[in-house]
Every structure is written in structure tokens, then in C-alpha cells.
Structure 1
Amino acid sequence: MHVTSADGTAIAYDRVGRGAPLVLVPGALCDRNALRPLADELAGSFDVISYDRRGRGDSGDSTAYVVQREVEDIAALVQALGGGAAVYGHSSGAGLTAIAAGSGLPFSRVVLHEPPYGSDDVDSSEDGAQVLSLLADGQNREAVELFLVMAGMPTAEALEFAGSPGVAELAPTLAYDFAVMDHGARGGGLPAELLAGISQPTLVLAGTASPPFMVDAAHRAVKLLSAGTLTELPDQGHVVAPELLAPVLRTFLSPR
């Protein structure tokens, strides 16, 4: 199915389940299929949308990228669910979710799963510029490899993932993820003002086996939220199996 965003871009989505409305926002190098297994796990309790962010999969794109257009995409999906929803964002999708929540979209509850904010004393702009330079030269696979190593993935795993079918085609949207993570804090740092403006009950998730900077970001982020809760997932990394993650989300998101 598709919705039409405010700028006329068609946004593709799948919808499964019955119950309280929920939107799943994927991270970098992911289309809607990445979160579809989680949607299926949650379908017994929620009316779930997983979608292709603009420029990915079956969604369209506009000529010039602006972060606000992605917020408008989520707004269109929420409207398709009846005008209000809970929202879960993973990785840079959590960064986008935070921006959408801070902009006043009608979310009932918010989940930020390891938004990859960097340390305040580290500027990732130079690393990001290297990735963007590779993309400009058409070296999509190399750009993906560098990005994943920057994100804490072991080199061998990064090389393998970068060669997976369809990944190179998604590589140009890494520029969008850099823009999202730079929104509110130059160089991908913690956007203190943005997080402080989120009023909804918000769950921040971090796996204890994830890269240390992501765990640290979760601990720092929750302190800025007006209604934030931190849950650590023992022995879990950046990607958590749907059957383990779904019960945590169900407990937090279920209507009380």
C-alpha cells in the first residue's frame, strides 16, 4: 500500500495485525522488510505499519532531501492509522523518530532503540564526509563498508553485509541518515534540546553487547527526556531477534 506525503512523494508500507496503532521506523540500509518480522511478532496486539523510508524500496523520493520531508512521511502514515499512533525507531530510525516526536506528531508512546548519537567531544563529520565522497564516486559498496565499520561492526562482518543483495542500491540513502543524525547537533552528537522537547512517555533501549558508544548514548539520552525510561537488553547487540524484542515493546506500548 502507499500513502502520499505532503510533498507528493508516494511512501510504500505494509500493514498487519489488529489493535492499537504502531509505526516502525527502520534505520540505515534497511527497507520495510527489515522490520517486517518484528511487525509480524507484534501483530497479535497492534495494528502495525512497517514502511520504506523515502528513496528506498517501493517508496518515491524528491529531488532535494530535507529531514522535515521524512517527518511528513511519518505524519502521513500516522494519518493512515487514524490520526494517532505509538512509534518505534531503530538506530538512525530512532534518531528520526526523536525528531518526529519533538516536532509534535500525535504519538501516544515513543521507543528509541539505540539512536547512534556520538560523544559530545567527538565530531563524526569527517568520517561522514568520507562515506559521502565514496557515494559521489559511485563506490556504493565501499561506502557501506566504511559506514558499518564506523558504526562499530567488525570489518569482516561489514565486508560480508556490504555484499548482500540489495544493500548497494540502498547506499545513497546513507546521506539521509547522516542528515538525520546531524539534526539538532552538528557531527552526530546528542541533540539535547530536541530530546528535552519530547513530552510523550519514551522508552530507550540498549543491548549490553552493543558497541559501547551506543550504550553510552542511550544512558545520556534518557536523562534528557521528560518522561524517559531506560531498559537494557542483556547480552543483546544492535539487532535483536523479534521474538525477544516484541515482549519488551508489548509491555511498554500496550494501553494501560
Structure 2
Amino acid sequence: MDKNILSRDGTSIAYESAGRGPAVVLVSGAMSTGATVAPLAAPLSERFQVVVYDRRGRGRSGDTAPYAVEREVEDLAALFGAVGGEASLYGTSSGGALALRAAASGLPVRHVAVYETPYAMSEEALRERAEYTERLNAALAEGRRGDAVELFLRLTGLSESVIEGARQSPMWAGMESMAPSLAYDDAVMGDGGVPRELLASIQLPVLSIAGEASPAWMRDAARAIAEAVPRGAYRTLEGQTHMVEPDVLAPVLAEFFAR
């Protein structure tokens, strides 16, 4: 990230941009920085000005307490200002929830594309999300960052053996350093369910995408987003999982953003 811009509350947001044309801002999900979505920037920058940024509380961006989802929408507003005042948004995983919230806020968004925003699709899943929120906030309040990361990894479905292996890996320290931002993504996701009233208020084109090889509930969640938005569309990508291949996703996004 070679540039910085100040958000409305004075928080420094690190970003970089590449290419020329209509602006597209890429929004990362939980436990990630702009580097996670950066591989999409190269193919998209052939037709667009692509902005990759570190969300507040991670990477090279700053952070200012207290956190509120509205501050992250203001971060996007600042980035929009840096690229001409309007842009399209792509959000992956919980970053998709932030992109949708930004679109509903009245920010000058042209299009929104989201990939596998993990809204809960059953009462049991909603209860699990509520328990996760409670335990996550307790762990962070008590400074147990490692426990917070473990809670998140379990929520994603990783096995105990894989989680234990992650704890012993060199990357664990970096994961712990990013743990406070887990509460930010949890807040962006709301109660965890599909926010149908919010989605119904979005009047711009929305493309909700899922991987054909992902769990059925993720495809159901992606479809529910498209159905709740007045101008929504749903698409699956053959052979793809939650870790979607940039070379498969980029042409789909480019076609959508060029409309």
C-alpha cells in the first residue's frame, strides 16, 4: 500500500490503485488485508481503475475507537473521493456485507458484486452466530486474542487438528495481531441472517456469486441476496470454492462492472 487517505474521523486508510477507467474498490473479508484481494487487481486493471485497501484495524491502515460499521462506510467514502467521487464495489465473504451496507447507505456506488457473503440460512446457524458473538467479545475484552482467532476458525468449519496446526505455525502471531478486527466483521454481519429489509433498499445492480463446489448453504445465501435486491442477479462459478481463483472470477466481474 503506497498511498494514504484520511477518513472522516481522522483514521489513516492505506490503499493503492492500478489501471485507468471507471473505479472499482475491492473489499476484503475477515482476517485479511488488501493483499488478499490484490490478485484480482491485475486482470481488472486492464479495463478499470482498481483500488485495493487495508480496512481499518489491519495492515497499514490505522484504527480509531470506538468502532462502528458507519466508520467503515466513511472509509469507503474517502476512497471514492480519491478516485473521482463514485465507484463500483466488490466484496468477498464478510467484505460483501460491508459493500452491501455501503450501497444501502447512499454512497455513490455504481454496481456491487459480492462473493459468498456468509449469511446464516437456518435457525441453528443463527444461534451459533449469536454464541460466537458473545464468546468473541468476551475473549477480546479479556485480551485472549488467540482464543478469539480459534473461535473464528471454528466458525469457518476448520477441524481442531487444523486449528492446532495453525497455532504452531509462524503465521499465528500475525493472526493474533488482527484478532480485534474480527469484532468489526462480526458487526458488519449484523445478527448473521440475511438483512432483507436493508437489501430491498438497494436500487443499483447487484451480482451475488457463489462457487459451485462450496457448501449448499453458501450458495443458498448468495441466492437469497440476489432475490432480496430489486436489481439482483445470482451466478455460480463452476469448480470454485470459497477460495475462488482470481482468473475465474475477474472476467465475470469485468463483464458486470462494464454494463
Quick one: distance in 1 between partners of 2:252 and 2:207? 10
Quick one: distance in 1 between partners of 2:183 and 2:96? 16
Tell me which stretches of 4 or more aligned residues in structure 1 moved more than 3 Å: 153-163
1:135: how far off? 2.5
Residue in structure 1 matched with residue 15 of structure 2 by the alignment? 13
1:168: how far off? 1.6
What is the SS of the residue equivalent to 1:226?
A: coil
Quick one: distance in 2 between partners of 1:249 and 1:48? 12
Residue in structure 1 matched with residue 79 of structure 2 by the alignment? 77
The one-letter code sitting in structure 2 at the alignment partner of 1:171 is A
Residue in structure 2 matched with residue 57 of structure 1 by the alignment? 59
The partner residue of 1:137 within 129, 139, 142 is: 142
Residue in structure 2 matched with residue 196 of structure 1 by the alignment? 200
Quick one: distance in 2 between partners of 1:132 and 1:153? 20
Q: Which runs of 5+ in 2 are unaligned?
A: none
Q: How many residues align?
A: 251
Q: Which runs of 5+ in 1 are unaligned?
A: none
Matches within 5 A, 1:211-250: 211-250=215-254
Matches within 5 A, 1:14-163: 14-119=16-121, 121=123, 122-123=126-127, 124-161=129-166, 163=169
The one-letter code sitting in structure 1 at the alignment partner of 2:140 is L
Quick one: distance in 1 between partners of 2:246 and 2:132? 31
The one-letter code sitting in structure 2 at the alignment partner of 1:174 is L
Identical-residue share of aligned pairs (%) = 45
- Describe the superposition over 1:35-68 as per-residue Cα deviations: whole angstroms up to 9, x where unpaired: 1111122111110111011111111111200110
Quick one: distance in 2 between partners of 1:251 and 1:204? 14
1:201: how far off? 0.6
The one-letter code sitting in structure 2 at the alignment partner of 1:253 is F
Q: Give the structure-2-normalised TM-score.
A: 0.91
Q: Is the 8 A contact 1:152 1:211 kept in 2?
A: no
Residue in structure 1 matched with residue 179 of structure 2 by the alignment? 171
Q: Which range moved further: 126-135 or 230-239?
A: 126-135
- Describe the superposition over 1:45-102 as per-residue Cα deviations: whole angstroms up to 9, x where unpaired: 1101110111111111112001100000001101111011111001110000110000
Quick one: distance in 2 between partners of 1:98 and 1:64? 22
- Describe the superposition over 1:93-136 as per-residue Cα deviations: whole angstroms up to 9, x where unpaired: 00001100001111111101111111252231112222222233
The one-letter code sitting in structure 2 at the alignment partner of 1:52 is D
Q: Give the structure-1-normalised TM-score.
A: 0.92
Q: In angstroms, what is the RMSD of aligned CA positions?
A: 1.6
